[in-house]
């Protein structure tokens, strides 16, 4: 599990998900509960519990965003007040463009249109930013564009009439499904095509029974078995060290076979 500890702390394990949120709004409520649910589902998630923040986003946090395959952005009433959160969002969208990172917006106790158009509490936040950051219009514009872009992505609106625990469960499972597609999406396509091929080969063999046709069918089935095994291993989301151990074990077995 990925944890952010003290201001001097560094990431301890590789993570798949980065949580961006306004601490004073959701740290001990929605985001905390979402993090716990993701942990239960064995989704390695980076959450920053550091309460002491400087003016600039830390290099370790930037690295944590870069390393994630998916970022959950929890927009709340005061998210736009935080320069730190807005810088996180800009970095997350940069990773989406450069690395293909998945971005999942969640709107908690805030209207998505307020985020998209910087109205309501977001208008108030930007009025303060403009006052404090005079002469830094480029930075302000980046923040505005990032909010507009992120708010247009498909996500979750928590204002709908349902229990929060049910909603969190659905969001966590959505994250898990999206991660699974990242890990095994390419294999699923190959497996689907080979299953179709195996079916056709079997039909062809029944019509023209020959050793050659049987060998072709068996080769396809064998390849299918290998791909399904690889899919199962990927779904475990093993660490590089564990994968290295598997490769070493395979090399040892090959040597013993000799």
Q: Tokens in use for 253?
A: 């077995």
- Quote the pLDDT of residue 135: 82
Are 119 and 110 in contact, with CB atoms under 8 Å apart?
Answer: no
- Quote the pLDDT of residue 228: 87
CATH class of 17-179: alpha beta
pLDDT digits (tens, 9 = 90+) for 43-78: 999 998 765 555 578 888 999 999 999 999 999 999
Active site residue 88: yes
Order the strands of the 70-75 sheet from edge to edge: 3-4, 45-48, 17-21, 70-75, 102-107, 156-157
- Kindly tell me if the per-residue pLDDT of 184 is higher than 70: yes
Comparing 161 with 210, which gets the higher pLDDT? 210
Round to whole Å and give the CA distance between 70 and 236.
17
Q: 13, 56, 66, 88: which one is catalytic?
A: 88
Please report where in the chains the tokens 């598997």 appear, as a residue.
246
- Kindly tell me if the per-residue pLDDT of 6 is higher than 70: no
Radius of gyration of the chain (CA): 24
Model confidence pTM above 0.75: yes
- Quote the pLDDT of residue 249: 59
In order of 71, 120, 255, the CA distances from 150 in angstroms are 11, 17, 52
- Quote the pLDDT of residue 40: 95
Q: For the residues 80-84, what does the mean pLDDT come to?
A: 95
């Amino acid at each position: 599990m990925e944890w952010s500890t003290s201001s001097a702390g560094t990431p301890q394990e590789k993570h798949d998900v980065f949580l961006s949120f306004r601490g004073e709004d959701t740290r001990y409520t929605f985001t905390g509960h979402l993090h716990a649910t993701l942990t239960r589902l064995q989704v390695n998630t980076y959450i920053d519990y550091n309460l002491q923040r400087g003016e600039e986003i830390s290099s370790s946090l930037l690295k944590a965003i870069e390393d994630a395959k998916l970022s959950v952005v929890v927009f709340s009433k005061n998210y736009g007040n935080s320069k730190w959160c807005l810088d996180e969002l800009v970095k997350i969208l940069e990773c989406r463009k450069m690395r293909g990172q998945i971005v999942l917006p969640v709107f908690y106790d805030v209207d998505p249109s307020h985020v998209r158009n910087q109205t309501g509490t977001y208008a108030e936040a930007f009025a303060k930013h403009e006052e404090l950051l005079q002469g830094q219009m480029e930075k302000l514009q980046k923040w505005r564009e990032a909010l507009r872009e992120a708010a247009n992505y498909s996500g979750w609106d928590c204002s709908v009439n349902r229990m929060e625990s049910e909603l969190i469960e659905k969001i966590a499972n959505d994250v898990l499904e999206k991660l699974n597609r990242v890990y095994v999406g390419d294999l699923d396509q190959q497996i689907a095509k080979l299953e179709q091929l195996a079916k056709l080969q079997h039909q062809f063999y029944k019509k023209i029974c020959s050793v050659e046709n049987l060998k072709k069918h068996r080769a396809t089935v064998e390849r299918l078995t290998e791909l399904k095994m690889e899919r199962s291993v990927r779904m475990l989301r093993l660490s590089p060290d564990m994968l290295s151990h598997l490769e070493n074990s395979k090399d040892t077995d090959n040597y013993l076979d000799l």
